Structure 1
Amino acid sequence: MKHMKQTASIISTYSADTFGVCSALYELGGMVVIHDPSGCNSTYTTHDEPRWFHEDSLIFVSALTEQDAILGNDRKLVDDIVTAARELKPRFICLIPSQIAHMIATDCRALCRIIEKKTGIPSFTLPTNSMHYYGRGIFFALEKIADFVCQKAKQTGFAGRQQGNHKEKVLPDEDNGTDGASKKNPAAAPPFTEEVPLKINLLGATPLDFAMNGSVDSIKKWLERQGHMVKSCWAMGSSFDEILSSYDADCSLVLSYGGLGAARKMQQELGVPYKVGLPIGGKFSPVCGAAALPISASPCSRAAQPTFAKERSKSFSANAARPKQPQKIFLIGETVFAESLAAALAEKIGFLPTVIVPMETEAEICTYDTLQLTDEAELVPVLKTADLVIADPLYRPICPPAAAFVPLPHTAFSGRLYLKEIPNLIEENVFSDFAQKVLAKLQEKSV
């Protein structure tokens, strides 16, 4: 069968950038208006937003008509938003275009200036069009929230994070793997002492990547066990006011690609360093190439990656039936989650999966051999070489019949279909069980 680029004839597609914006801003008390005929809002709320059934949010659609699209009727849109805002009194107003509004070049920035002047409520737009993936929407939304945080910091006279009272921390030399007793890691965060508890912002947490299965709470508890304090969580479980007051955090922990823009903004404007990664199985797995923080972790430099799996396999139990190498293992998912999970699996069972990121991402948070394949046509020929695939169940139809398959549902891809089957891999026992499933599949393939 011949495949066309930028089409999905068999598998599903990921949530759109407009949905990512809605998900990132859902709990912050603002009003989000999708400029669209109406389909986007219903799809998002019924399929991609589990909070919708028990927690209210001001998510609206403009109900753009054909006549509005052809002739332009911006006055009605402005009047509707202003009327709703005066009644509901949101903390901010976010107007985002979908495909049609984007194609007819609606000037959402000008509309937001009019709306803000009429209501006195901060109003802004973001460069969405429903033709990009959800992570991009989260990225833009949280980056904008970081602007509010930086403004709040300036209003309070906060001059930026001070480094002078901390003892310098020296990290391992990532160039040659030797102990860096006399060399500082150029990508390292400003110096800390390990004895000083850190105030940490969690960036990039939404139900699209972190299902309502307790994973975000598990991350918080893990940090607290390390002696640190979670200052805020962007944006699950923290109010807008809590986020606004998080400018004096010691560092940010980026949990997904969506939080990367906010982390950079906080670093540039306020001097808050950041680290990218997740504590899979109760042990932190940093994403290679990202800025460093003093959170305990095994080194995982790009230079060390090619031999990482081999080195880990040496420590694997000699009594266990380990499959013959090489095994071609692919792990498909969001960048930070997939990279951290791959590193954790390599350490646990001795085999390092090749990560496939099927959406927008950046090299900073990818290892040297990560594949970015955003089209079904690109995925199919690569997956034909697989011995084992770890992915959302909706990927199974494009995997070869001979390949083993370990399901790992992802809300942003399969919506609510497998919500109850998404494991909380932050917990050590849950991750251990999952790793054993992967190992069992590899053993079956090796027989």
Structure 2
Amino acid sequence: MNAKVISIYAADTSGVCSALYELGGMTVVHDASGCNSTYATHDEPRWYDRKSMIYISALTEADAVMGNDSKFIRDVAKAAGELSPKFIAICGSPMPAMTGFDYSAAAEEIERETGLTTFFVDTNGTHSYLQGAEGAFLNIAKLFCREGKEKQANSVNIIGATPLDFSVNTSVSSIKKWLLDNGFSVQSCFAMDSSLDEISTAPQAAVSLVISSDGIAVAKYLFDTYGVPYVVGVPVGKSFSKKLSADLKRAVSEGVCINSCGEKAVENAHMIVAGESVFASSLGAELGAKTVATVGIRNSEVLSGTDIFCEEEAELEKLFSQHKTVIADPLFRPICKVASFVSLPHVAFSGRCFLKDIPDLIDKDVSKKLNL
């Protein structure tokens, strides 16, 4: 995002850490000492009440300049021997990307020394959290998902659940309850309140529900490899939730993939919703509002013909000025010269600043919740 006033989204490394946080593996970010606070305390609200094996390699200037890769490999292998993680994931920051660190070779060497499944996620700290989370989810699916028992009738994989998009409020548990109330069961959840063992059974699901842009790649993989169709959308509001439930049932019966949040009519053209592609488009569908995706998927896999993808601050300011009401993270407020600004905090954008103000909109009266 090109910006002078507003914030930027959490980096790809934070996405990796968030996606893998609860799965029992050891995540190592190749970066300078002290940078763990960025990935943990700033972007990861679970850090305060739940432990996870997330570490920094403590890369020094001498190590970077001299290419001391053996120290990284040795330290990771030693830590794994002491901690016994279920897997090892490594990812990178800008400095090792600049020096050409070979993550693939390092992962192979660590796996050979430890006997543990080891993979790398291609990050460099300059992309958004969604790219990192997508890579982490995809590696988990490819390495641990196996076709086993028969398909479980009306079972659903929830894909794309991280606190960066859904905070640590009741949203994810509300999605699970909504599924149960509509005759479905939860097969797995990538990757909140779900274990690695549960996620490994994802191929047995009848359908996947993609609730964030970082889940699209995994949903496609499960469809192409195991024939699990997917539906894209977040069950926000009463009306859109009903549509999403019907689309999930159609996907199960017909074996088709459906972009639910991309099928909408704009009735309230004066209103615009800004944010991550899937969530913003789903909320826009519920409200009959325009959507501007400021991060995430930018094409028809998620967005409708009336939706816009924009990550340039100057263009966003101009776009917002053309509408009476803007629904967005509070840190967008400085560039919103509009009659009505509706605050909807997004952890990946404003971090811990407004955690207590993030509402649970799942199957709720959105207008009442947002005081529209």
Both structures adopt the same fold (TM-score exceeding 0.5)? yes
2:307 aligned to which of 367, 370, 374: 370
Counterpart of 1:92 in structure 2 is 87
CA deviation profile, 1:253-287 (whole Å, cap 9, x unmatched): 11111111111111111111111112112424559
Q: How does 1:27-38 map to 2 (within 5 A)?
A: 27-38=22-33
Q: 1-side partners of 2:320 and 2:135: how far apart?
A: 31
Contact 2:12 2:128 in 1 (8 A): yes
Counterpart of 2:361 in structure 1 is 425
RMSD, aligned α-carbons: 2.5
Contact 2:153 2:206 in 1 (8 A): no
Counterpart of 1:412 in structure 2 is 348
2:369 aligned to which of 410, 417, 434: 434
Partner of 1:333, secondary structure, is strand
Q: 1-side partners of 2:281 and 2:251: how far apart?
A: 17
1:333 aligned to which of 261, 266, 275: 275
Q: CA deviation at 1:292?
A: 5.9
Amino acid at match of 2:310: L
Please say if 1:395 is aligned against 2:353: no
Q: 2-side partners of 1:358 and 1:208: how far apart?
A: 15
Partner of 1:238, secondary structure, is coil
Q: How does 1:192-211 map to 2 (within 5 A)?
A: 197-211=153-167
Decide whether aligned partners of structure 1 residues 128 and 299 sit closer, same or farther in structure 2, where only a CA change above 3 A counts.
Answer: closer
User: Mind listing any 5+ residue stretches in structure 1 that lack a counterpart?
Assistant: 1-5, 162-195, 311-325, 347-352, 439-447
- Give the TM-score, by structure 1 length: 0.77
Counterpart of 2:316 in structure 1 is 379
Q: CA deviation at 1:245?
A: 2.2
Q: 2-side partners of 1:34 and 1:56: how far apart?
A: 17
| Rg comparison, structure with higher value | 1
Counterpart of 1:178 in structure 2 is none
How many residues in Structure 1 have an aligned counterpart in Structure 2? Answer: 364
Amino acid at match of 2:349: F
Q: 2-side partners of 1:292 and 1:80: how far apart?
A: 50
Q: CA deviation at 1:225?
A: 0.8
Decide whether aligned partners of structure 1 residues 108 and 84 sit closer, same or farther in structure 2, where only a CA change above 3 A counts.
Answer: same
Q: CA deviation at 1:47?
A: 1.4
Amino acid at match of 1:36: D
1:213 aligned to which of 169, 180, 184: 169
User: Mind listing any 5+ residue stretches in structure 2 that lack a counterpart?
Assistant: none
Q: 1-side partners of 2:260 and 2:340: how far apart?
A: 27
Q: Point out the structure with the larger strand share.
A: 2
Contact 1:18 1:134 in 2 (8 A): yes
Counterpart of 1:116 in structure 2 is 111
Please say if 1:280 is aligned against 2:236: yes
Amino acid at match of 1:257: S
Contact 1:273 1:291 in 2 (8 A): no
Q: CA deviation at 1:148?
A: 2.2
Of all paired residues, the percent bearing the same amino acid is 44
Partner of 2:304, secondary structure, is coil
Q: 2-side partners of 1:328 and 1:294: how far apart?
A: 36
Q: 2-side partners of 1:343 and 1:33: how far apart?
A: 39
Contact 1:278 1:284 in 2 (8 A): no
